Amino acid sequence: MFLEDYIVHYLGKGKLPVCDPWIALTAIALATNRVRIGPTVITPLSRRRPWKVARETVTLDRLSGGRLILGVGVGDLNDDGFGKVGETTNSKQRNEMLNEALQVLTGLWSAKPFSFEGRFYKVRELTLLPAPLQKPRIPIWIGGQWPHGAPVRRAARWDGICTYKLNRDGGVEALAPHEIRELKRSIEQSRPQPAPFDLCVGGSSPEEDPTLVRRRIEAAAEAGANCWPMFMSREPDAVRRWISRGPPELGRGMS
């Protein structure tokens, strides 16, 4: 169960009501026992203090019994939660801040004395207790737009990628199977050593034909993906009907 991390969110020409993901995820964690949770659409670390995120994520990881996945990225470039409140809108700077913040975040998760000297963040002999429940740490997924190279290279250093592409009309579109295979090859070639990696692509709506959605998921799984998002509807009944059908039985470890 993944939530979006926006201050203000637009869909087309309209604004959408949004919640604070950390408060909502805490409520979900306390009401569930097995589902994995986290922010994807990703948390833009460039507008967060990484030591505060470290405290929040460890708390949520422990409250959930080790079920948190942390999705991070630079954030949408036209996000009003940056430009209208004085946060940087420079994409290069936001990328640099993200890279530094990840080092600080994982250093503080160690629960050992940690120091860091960067351009944007400085930490002096700080120890945060307790450590996350998950070992060796909370999984980190990197968000970004395909086929941009920076998110892929960054993701290869972590645990997963949650990616999409834009169509000619500016809307979000799922990766085709040949693009998934290309992405998988790029990740494997960039990883320092073989290790489990989550490839989260695509996306469907509960209003779509379940048979067609299943075919798309099967094609994505065959190409190497292991996670396919189902986007929530504004109609609660449509969401309940989708949940009642359960996940497709693909036999490939697809989630």
Q: Report pLDDT digits (tens) over 166-195.
A: 777 767 788 999 999 999 999 999 887 888
Answer yes or no: do 127 and 168 share one domain: no
User: Are 210 and 245 in contact, with CB atoms under 8 Å apart?
Assistant: yes
Please indicate, yes or no, whether residues 173 and 69 belong to a single structural domain of this protein. no
**For the chain, percent of residues with pLDDT exceeding 70:** 94
Q: What is the pLDDT of residues 197-217, one digit of tens each?
A: 999 998 887 778 888 888 999
Model pTM?
0.92
CA atoms within 13 A on the CB side of 38: 24
Domain that holds residue 107: 1-138
Mean predicted confidence (pLDDT) in 140-161: 92
Q: Is residue 254 part of a domain?
A: no
pLDDT over 70 at 105, yes or no: yes
Domain termination residue (choose one: 138, 171, 195) = 138
174 located within any domain: yes
Which one of 78, 109, 138 terminates a domain?
Answer: 138
Query: Residue 49's pLDDT is what?
Result: 96
